[in-house]
Structure formats: C-alpha cells, structure tokens
Amino acid sequence: MRLNRLALIALFAALNFAPIQAQSWHVANTFHPGGEGGWDYVTVDAPNHRLFVTRATHTQAIDIRTGKLLADIPG
C-alpha cells in the first residue's frame, strides 16, 4: 500500500515537471487607436470581435477585424 502511494506521488511529480510544448505566437495585427494617455489593460471579446483598451480616463472599444474605433467610453 505504501509503495503504491509513493509510485502515485512520483507519477504526479513527473507529470507536473514534464516539459510544456512551446506555443507559436505571432503578431496578427497592430492597431493605433490614438487618444491621450497610455493604456493599462486590454481584453478581447472574441465572439463579438471587440478589443477593449483601458486608458487613464476612458476605455476604447475597437473592432479587431478592421481596427476601427467603435466607442470611446468615458470614466
């Protein structure tokens, strides 16, 4: 029983330290929405093709297919 537990612990440890396959990342598009201030965070609404960029005093909504600024939300 004790040997089985040790074997399971060793198996889980080996799985946790297995090398992770490298992902292939590339730049798909670049947007220049303009406006004042730097940006803080971005989030993507993939089903609706929107990119939300938070700025110092406002949030911009950008269409990720065209790069068009859809809205500039104050606050």
Q: How far apart are the C-alpha atoms of 15 and 59, rounded to whole Å?
A: 42
Enclosing H/E stretch for 74? strand 69-74
Please determine, for residue 1, whether its predicted confidence score (pLDDT) is greater than 60. no
Q: How high is the mean pLDDT of the chain? A: 79
The predicted pLDDT at position 71 comes to 93
Cα radius of gyration (the chain): 22
The phi, psi pair for 13, rounded to 5°, reads -65, -40
Please determine, for residue 52, whether its predicted confidence score (pLDDT) is greater than 80. yes
Q: CA angle 5-11-13, nearest 5°? A: 105
Domain ranges of the chain: 2-25+36-74
Q: How far apart are the C-alpha atoms of 5 and 26, rounded to whole Å?
A: 43
